Amino acid sequence: MSLSRTFLSITAASALVFAPVINLPVAKAVPPSEITAEKPAGVDDREGFLTSQDGKGTQVYWHSQQVPNARGTVVVVHGAAEHSGRYDYVANRLLQSGYNVYRLDHRGHGKTADANPSTRAHIDDFHFLVDDMNLVVQKAKAENPGLKTFMLGHSMGSLASQFYGIKYPGQIDGFVTNGGGAPLNFTGENQPGDYVTPRDMSDMQGQLAPKLWERRPVSDWTIFQDRLKLAQRPNNVEMRLPSLPGSEKVLIPNVFTSGVATDPAVSAEYQNDPLVNPNLSEGMLKQMQFAAVYDGLNARHFTAPTLIMHGTQDGLVPCYFAQDWYSGISSADKELVYWAGQYHEVFNEPAKVEAMDKVIAWIDAHNA
């Protein structure tokens, strides 16, 4: 079987229907769309483009926000089909806490796609996407010498952050990921995470029934512990699977619209956002599958401190992905938190304030 078919088969076999939640005590939740955070005074906002090292001259959009007397820097990495501008709440909370924030729009996304129109909704090679992230990381480090640098990724941005930690070890002082993980655990023993019942949940969230991954030990079905020969290959870190020519022309409607957020206003804003891609190329979907399997195969090479989070009612990425990643990595300093009742975009859910409190507390503790 070809490497391409092997990756796709592994991903398909592991993509079981999942997500959970139990009947829980509920407080009256404020709609997440009404919860905002103001940008503090004195923030130096800048934006521009960096030239990718992909040999194609791709222009990569970046946006930096620096605060006076910064305590550290956080690079925020967005998910599939969206753009970095959807993370203003996250950024403003970090800025309020004294952290510089750097963002980018991935190739095929947002303002990067505006600058390279032929690539919209397409990813040609996930390695290139991660290399683009490194340009922004190095820019952030050069502009803030002596400060620690953290990375916060969501969804595909979590896959990319995990990938970055494998490909560029030692560059980031700590990773926070939400809605990511790996479809299989190739190396470690199963390790449980912590369940957090948010202070604020909607009535609907408190009544959702447990899904498959919670009713059945899915993580026990997706653990291999060095029994798969593919996982023992010495050069897995160098593996790449570029998209085929023409795959940018095969477009699939954006399916990332259900199971993402419980607040109808958040969903409506997403669907009406002109920088959100209404379609995804076949190449993008293939690269996301590749990244998920790459991360699983190379989890043992990830050693950085990390906080891993997942909403238990995530309608896009199975929660057992988080446990498989958590169990497979070699990090001595790692934490897994499940946010009960929350959908995919935890930072746009009723738990958003508490989730960001947790993120900032974790970064503070690792910024000493």
- DSSP string over 5-48: HHHHHHHHHH------------PPPPPGGG---PPPTT-EEEEE
In the structure encoding, which two tokens stand for residue 331, read together?
A: 């990090």
Angstrom distance (rounded) from CA 29 to CA 297: 40
In the structure encoding, which two tokens stand for residue 63, read together?
A: 């946006």
pLDDT at residue 210, as a whole number:
55
User: At residue 366, what is the residue type?
Assistant: H
Element counts in the chain: helices (H) and strands (E): 12, 11
CB atoms within 10 A of CB 96: 16
Q: State how far the alpha carbon of 78 is from the alpha carbons of 155, 266, 279, in Å.
A: 7, 16, 17
pLDDT at residue 5, as a whole number:
45
Domain 3-365: state its class. Answer: alpha beta
pLDDT at residue 189, as a whole number:
77
Cβ-contact 105, 111 below 8 angstroms: yes
DSSP helix/strand/coil, 155: coil
How large is the greatest C-alpha to C-alpha distance in the chain, in angstroms? 57
Give pLDDT tens digits along the chain (368 positions).
444 444 444 444 444 333 333 333 334 568 899 999 999 999 999 999 999 999 999 999 999 999 999 999 999 999 999 999 999 999 999 999 999 999 999 999 999 999 998 889 999 999 999 999 999 999 999 999 999 999 999 999 999 999 999 999 999 999 999 999 998 888 877 788 888 888 776 665 555 555 555 544 555 545 555 555 555 566 789 999 999 999 999 999 997 777 899 999 999 999 999 999 999 999 999 999 999 999 999 999 999 999 999 999 998 998 889 999 999 999 999 999 999 999 999 999 999 999 999 999 999 999 98
Q: Which helix (H) or strand (E) holds 74?
A: strand 72-77
As a whole-number percent, the residues of the chain with pLDDT over 70 amount to 83
pLDDT at residue 229, as a whole number:
53
Residue 231 is classified by DSSP as G
- The domain limits of the chain are 3-365
> pTM of the full predicted structure?
0.88
| Closest among 242, 275, 289, 286 to 127, alpha carbons compared | 242
CB atoms within 10 A of CB 279: 14
Q: Are strands 72-77 and 149-154 parallel, antiparallel or unpaired?
A: parallel
